[in-house]
């Protein structure tokens, strides 16, 4: 697997490269236009197809509800009557709601290259990879770390795993959607990263919503509180590099803040939430986790030692 730090350090260069290529593409220079097939025209699939049209590619689309293709057809896309009709495209992207809904659709076609952007588990991605290999399809599994409105902008990052050869062969097409990051040949890797990153997002957002509910019990509005939360979140983000080093080395020595103090603080948060009449559903499991780690002997260690309990 490629070292994630190497990936991060190459980010600026690859962004620069993307901008140059996008500019060249807009000017009709350099890359050759390809035929791109898109299966699924929900919020995300329609954004993907729109970005390919914007970059001048020949786009063929299929959707269970064909009426949704209207705006894309007006921009020059071609509508396929069946999934099988997109199979002749140079590269086919699939973006349906789930792997379960996608499975019968994929069974209808045998494209040369399939890029799956439907969210799922690592196991589901590996199953599709096995199925694709049995049909001679080059398979790339991707996850979109962006909302539809971000597709085609520098804010979009898309993580890929699977066939490195297929990824490289179609890198320029994929760059139209956002910054592509190839994680390795294991087709399950992108889904694993996706769920790990979304876990950070969901737990952070839940913590924020709990905070709003807590200060709200005393009449503090979200508008008043959020300017405090934003720099705090960025300060918390600043701790991650140090925690990463501690987890990597297994050395949890700290002269900053020990786990027992933080476990005690979490108990205060649970008590105060209860006293203020709101649910403890967000902080209570965290208080339990930290207490378990203290009981396991990590009281004097850094917060990063909690990972031993999670593992
Ligand atoms: N939206 C985002 O911000 C976002 C971000 C990252 C990743 N994603 C991922 O992208 C994928 C698509 O998300 P979305 O936001 O575009 O969802 P969506 O707007 O709900 O669209 C779902 C798509 O799946 C199709 N579909 C659903 N059930 C089907 C079935 N039984 N047979 C055939 N087609 C079926 C829909 O067809 P109809 O139009 O006929 O209903 C539509 O094309 C998901 O896996 C999602 O996790 C989305």
Domains of the chain and any CATH numbers:
4-187 (3.40.50.720), 194-310 (1.10.1040.10)
Cα–Cα distances in angstroms (integers) from residue 118 to residues 139, 178, 213, in the given order: 13, 16, 34
- CA neighbor of 236 nearest in space, from 263, 264, 257: 257
Binning pLDDT at 50, 70 and 90, where does residue 13 land? very low
Question: Is there an atom of ligand 1 within 6 Å of 2 CB?
Answer: no
97 CB under 6 A from ligand 1? Answer: yes
**Spatial CB neighbours of 168, under 8 Å, sequence gap ≥ 6:** none
Q: How confident is the model at residue 6 (pLDDT cuts 50, 70, 90)?
A: very low
User: pLDDT tens digits, residue range 23-33?
Assistant: 444 444 445 68
The Å distance, Cα 69 to ligand 1 centre, comes to 14
Comparing C-alpha atoms, which of 7, 10, 35 is closest to residue 93?
A: 35
pLDDT at 148 over 50: yes
CA distances to 70, 156, 214, 266 from 274, in Å: 52, 40, 10, 12
Is the distance from the beta carbon of residue 118 to the nearest atom of ligand 1 less than 6 Å?
Answer: yes
- The confidence score (pLDDT) of residue 15 equals 43
Query: Cα of 130 to ligand 1 centre, how many Å?
Result: 23
The answer to whether the CB of 150 is under 6 A from ligand 1 is no
> 168 pLDDT band (50/70/90 cuts)?
very high
Is pLDDT above 90 for 295? yes
With the most atoms of ligand 1 within 8 angstroms of its CB, the residue from 93, 96, 141, 177 to mutate is 96
pLDDT by residue (tens digit) across 98-109? Answer: 999 999 999 999
């Amino acid at each position: 697997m490629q070292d994630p730090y190497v990936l991060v350090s190459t980010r600026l260069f690859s962004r620069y490269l993307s901008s140059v290529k996008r500019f060249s593409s807009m000017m009709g220079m350099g890359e050759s236009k390809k035929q791109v097939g898109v299966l699924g025209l929900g919020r995300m699939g329609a954004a993907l197809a729109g970005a390919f049209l914007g970059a001048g590619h020949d786009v063929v689309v299929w959707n269970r509800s064909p009426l949704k293709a209207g705006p894309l057809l007006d921009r020059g896309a071609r509508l396929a009557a069946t999934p099988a009709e997109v199979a002749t495209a140079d590269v086919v992207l699939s973006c349906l709601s789930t792997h379960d809904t996608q499975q019968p659709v994929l069974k209808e076609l045998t494209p040369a290259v399939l890029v799956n952007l439907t969210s799922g588990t690592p196991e589901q991605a590996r199953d599709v990879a096995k199925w694709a290999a049995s049909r001679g399809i080059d398979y790339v599994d991707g996850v979109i770390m962006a909302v539809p409105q971000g597709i085609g902008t520098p804010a979009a990052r898309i993580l890929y795993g699977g066939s490195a050869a297929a990824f490289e062969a179609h890198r320029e097409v994929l760059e139209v959607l956002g910054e592509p990051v190839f994680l390795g040949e294991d087709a399950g890797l992108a889904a694993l990263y996706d769920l790990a990153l979304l876990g950070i997002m969901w737990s952070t957002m839940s913590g924020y919503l709990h905070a709003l509910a807590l200060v709200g019990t005393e009449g503090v509005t979200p508008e008043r509180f959020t300017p405090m939360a934003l720099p705090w979140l960025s300060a918390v983000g600043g701790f991650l590099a140090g925690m990463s080093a501690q987890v990597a080395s297994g050395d949890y020595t700290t002269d900053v803040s020990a786990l027992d103090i933080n476990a005690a603080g979490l108990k205060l948060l649970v008590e105060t939430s209860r006293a203020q009449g709101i649910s403890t559903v967000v902080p209570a499991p965290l208080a339990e986790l930290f207490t378990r780690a203290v009981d396991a002997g990590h009281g004097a260690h850094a917060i990063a030692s909690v990972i031993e309990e999670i593992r």
